[in-house]
Structures are given as structure tokens and as C-alpha cells.
Amino acid sequence: MSLSRRVLLRASQSAWLRERAPRHRFFRRAAARFLPGENAEDALAAAGRLVENGVGAILTRLGESIATRAEAEAVVQHYFGLVDRLRSNGSACEISVKLTQLGADVDRELCRAHLSELASRMPDGKMLWIDMEQAAYADVTFDLFRRVREAHSNVGVCVQAYLYRTEFDVAKLVDEGAAVRLVKGAYNEPSEIAFPRKKDVDENFFRLAQTLLGLDAQRAGIRAAIGTHDLRLIARITEWAAAQGIARERLEFQMLYGIQRAEQIRLARAGYRSGVLINYGSYWFPWFMRRLAERPANVFFLARNLFSR
Ligand code: FDA
């Protein structure tokens, strides 16, 4: 992992920076590229613009590592309100949550109850996605995902290609016919548990995508969402899928708001399922640092914002 990536990922965990940086206008302006705004209204408006272009939306309110029951309750109440709005305006959006937002660090049973209640309230046919956080949360995430899924089949889980364990997790999820979002992984993980070289992560991503789209997965009825902005990987996966005779509408790509916008629309127009995860909220600093860490050029972009006014 490069030094700049390590530094930015460290910064994402700094409570001192999290407290102060968002007050600075230049950080706010730079983050605006990835965030339509701080309120659900901003996210819903952005979702509406995507839908006009045939691109679906998944909404997620920023926030993680919540430390009290009251905060977790407030987050889940926010999501209940959001679901009510989706229902009342007939919006086709899905939702994605982080378990530490719903109280995983406070009380696992409380977190399970929140997840379960939220899944039960989702509009028909709409998925409640669970993000994958640091590797230390992987077991609890799969455990809560499986327990909630016993009663609510509309929960899906994210897996990270940078972890060695993911090959085994994906095999199990395929057997279970689960809904799975495959991503590379955004945290700072040691080489004991994660591929240190990007090349190996990319290769593992391709192999996992093949498993998630392959015959066994199709037979098990899994929903596989390929979460990447990597155009080379997307081309490799679509070419492989075409050679296997997999219909385009069976391939679903998900990206983050503000990244590879043209590709999001191109995929939708070409007949693939294309979705965008829209983050909104005021707790955006750690998340924004992870986005910078993904691409060194983003730091220059930030610097340009700093000096342009
Ligand atoms: P890669 O980092 O190789 O980037 C490929 C290309 O995409 C770059 O060359 C650049 O052109 C563009 N790009 C990528 N990131 C960019 C950025 N920040 N700014 C500008 N351009 C950028 N992670 C996690 O650990 N847990 C999770 O739950 C999720 N959830 C999730 C959902 C969805 C829908 C997506 C798309 C991603 C996530 N992630 C995530 C983040 C994921 O792990 C990963 O960090 C990012 O997607 C970046 O990796 P890429 O696959 O895009 O490839």
C-alpha cells in the first residue's frame, strides 16, 4: 500500500481531524463532488436525476462507529422516515447501511433488531444492503446478515476482494443464494489478512465476480452487484460474461455518486443494470478521506480547490 494511501486512511480514523476539518470551506467544497448534500432531500433529488438516465439509486446516510444507544436509535429512526418517504413517493431507491451505524458497537442484539425492523419496512422488492466495514467486523456482519435474512430475504451484504477470506465467504453466500455486492475494499488492512498488492486485489475481484455470476450462482438465484469504477475490470467482466452467454440484464454494476458518471449511464444504455450509491449526511469526513485514498489524483483535486479561491 502506498504511503499517501496509508496517510489518508490514518487521517480517516482521526477524531481530531473529523472534528475540525469539516468546518473548513475548502474541505466542504471538495467533498461536494462525492456528496449531493447533507440532507435526504438532496440525495432524493440526485436519485431522481439518475433515474432519468436509467440508473438506479441506493441511499446511505453517512455515519459510522456510533457509541451510544441513543445515537443508534436516532439513525434508525432517520432510516424509518426515509423508507416512509420512498414508499409515499413510489421511489425505486434501495438503502445501504453500516452496522456500526445501527449500534453494532453498543449492543449486537439492538443492532440486529434495528436491521430486522428496517428490512421489514423496505418497499416490496427493494433490497436493504449491508456495507462491509473493517475486517474486525466481518464475522459479526455475516452473522447478523444471516440471522436477519432468515425472516427477511431482502437483505444483501457487501464483500471485499482485498481479504483472503472472501473467497470462502463468497462460496458460502453462493450456496445460500444471497444478494452480494462485490467491492475491492476501502480500509487499511494488514498483509496477514489482505492482499497488499493492488494487482492481486484486482485479480481476486475478477475471480470472485466469475463465481458470483457463474452457473452455480445463477442456479442458486443470487443477486450479484459488481461495485467498482475500474473500467478495465468492467470490460473484462462484461467480455467474459458475453462469452459465457450471460444476458446483459443479469449483470449489475454499482458505483459511487460522482465517480465515472459517464460510465454509469453508458452501462445502463447498453442494457446492463446500473446503480449508484448516494451518500449524504453531515458525518462525511472519514468517508471522504477513504475516497481520497482510493485515487492519489484526488489529493491534487483537493489542493486545486484549496487554491482556487
Ligand atoms: P480502483 O480503486 O482501482 O479505481 C479504478 C478507477 O476508478 C480509478 O483509476 C479512477 O479512475 C476511478 N476511481 C476509483 N475511486 C475513485 C475516487 N475515489 N475518486 C475518483 N475516481 C475514482 N468499500 C468497503 O470497504 N466496504 C463497502 O461496504 C463498500 N461499499 C461500496 C459500494 C459501492 C457501490 C462501491 C462502488 C464501492 C464501495 N466500497 C466499499 C469502496 C470500494 O471498496 C473501493 O474502495 C472503491 O470502489 C474504489 O475501488 P474501485 O473498484 O473503483 O477500483
Residue 212 Cα, ligand 1 centroid: separation in angstroms? 19
In the numeric block, which cell numbers belong to residue 266? 453508458
Residues 15-71 have pLDDT tens digits of 777 777 777 777 777 777 888 988 999 999 999 999 999 999 999 998 777 889 999
Residue 28 lies in a domain: no
Residues 89-138 have pLDDT tens digits of 888 899 999 999 999 999 999 999 999 999 999 999 999 999 999 999 99
Tell me the HSE value of 246 on the side-chain side, using a 13 A CA sphere: 25
Gap between the Cα atoms of 223 and 220, Å rounded? 9
Predicted confidence band of residue 304 (pLDDT cuts 50, 70, 90): low
By the 8 A CB rule, do 188 and 230 touch? no
Residue type, 114: H
Residue 1 lies in a domain: no
Residue 70 lies in a domain: yes
Please indicate whether residue 158, judged by its CB atom, sits closer than 6 Å to ligand 1. yes
Q: What is the mean pLDDT of the chain?
A: 91
Whether the predicted pLDDT of 256 surpasses 80: yes
CATH of the domain at 240: 3.20.20.220
Whether the predicted pLDDT of 309 surpasses 50: no
- The pLDDT score that the predictor gives to residue 236 is 98
Residues 176-211 have pLDDT tens digits of 999 999 999 999 899 999 999 999 999 999 999 999
By the 8 A CB rule, do 205 and 161 touch? yes
Task: Determine the structural domain holding residue 196 and report its residue range.
Answer: 36-283
Per-residue burial over 31-61, b if 16 or more Cβ lie within 10 Å, else e, is beebbbbbebeebbebbeebeeeebbbbbbb
Please indicate whether residue 160, judged by its CB atom, sits closer than 6 Å to ligand 1. yes
In the numeric block, which cell numbers belong to residue 112? 440486529
Gap between the Cα atoms of 198 and 195, Å rounded? 7
Residue 259 lies in a domain: yes
Residue 163 Cα, ligand 1 centroid: separation in angstroms? 15
Strand partners, 227: 254
Section 169-174 average pLDDT = 98
Name the pairing type of β-strands 56-61 and 273-280.
parallel
Give the residue, by CA position, lying nearest to ligand 1 atom 51. Answer: 228
pTM over 0.75: yes
Residue 128 lies in a domain: yes
Residue 23 lies in a domain: no
Residue 301 lies in a domain: no
Residue 96 lies in a domain: yes
Total domains in the chain come to: 1
Please indicate whether residue 299, judged by its CB atom, sits closer than 6 Å to ligand 1. no
